[in-house]
Amino acid sequence: MSLLMKRQSVRHYTKETVSEVAITTMLEAAMQAPSANNQQPWEFIIVDDRTILDQLSKASRGAWMLADAPLAIIVVMKEGGKSPRMRPQDCAAAVENILLSAVEQQLGAVWIGVYPLEERMTYINEILHITKGTAFAQIAIGHPDTTKSVTKRYDASRVYRNTME
């Protein structure tokens, strides 16, 4: 099965820490993402401090797993660039690459939505001292504590050829 067909959100982790090699591999994948005009409008914050992870777990209702995760990577969306309105797509591509790299390394991860919700952005930006740009997404990462089978979602009725008629 291809890597991307194995990806699923993993929200429960063992206590094992994530190696520095694995972190670097995920960040290499992130920075390999396509971006408009190759503007690469991203920065990444690695968080493995328990107190900060606990604070980040309160950023939104769906961020609870950070209270148990050994690691988070926060994707920060920078200001400016040649195609500023394309920055969210660029950052989303970087997030997906991190998720796929996690699968490749037998890690489990989940995308926790931040941008464009102002309340979440403000909360996280303050905790992490992000002053230029904004937190775009949180990604909780760890060694999976559970195994689930992946549900296939391909649905031919949602695919059209040439037009939607």
Ligand X SMILES: Cc1cc2nc3c(=O)[nH]c(=O)nc-3n(C[C@H](O)[C@H](O)[C@H](O)COP(=O)(O)O)c2cc1C
Residues of this chain that bind ligand X (CB under 6 A): 8-9, 11, 60, 62-63, 110-113
HEC profile of the chain: CCHHHHCCECCCECCCCCCHHHHHHHHHHHHCCCCHHHCCCEEEEEECCHHHHHHHCCCCHHHHHHHCCCEEEEEEECCCCCCHHHHHHHHHHHHHHHHHHHHHCCCEEEEEECCCCHHHHHHHHHHCCCCCCEEEEEEEEECECCCCCCCCCCCHHHCCCCCCC
Select 85 or 161, whichever has its Cβ closest to ligand X: 85
Select 9 or 37, whichever has its Cβ closest to ligand X: 9
Minimum CB–partner distance for residue 23 and ligand X (Å): 21
Minimum CB–partner distance for residue 153 and ligand X (Å): 8
Query: Which residue has the closest beta carbon to ligand X?
Result: 62
Minimum CB–partner distance for residue 10 and ligand X (Å): 8
Contact 90, 34 (CB under 8 A): yes
Select 61 or 85, whichever has its Cβ closest to ligand X: 61
Select 131 or 147, whichever has its Cβ closest to ligand X: 147
- Cβ burial of 71 (10 Å; 0-12, 13-18, 19+) is buried
Select 38 or 119, whichever has its Cβ closest to ligand X: 119
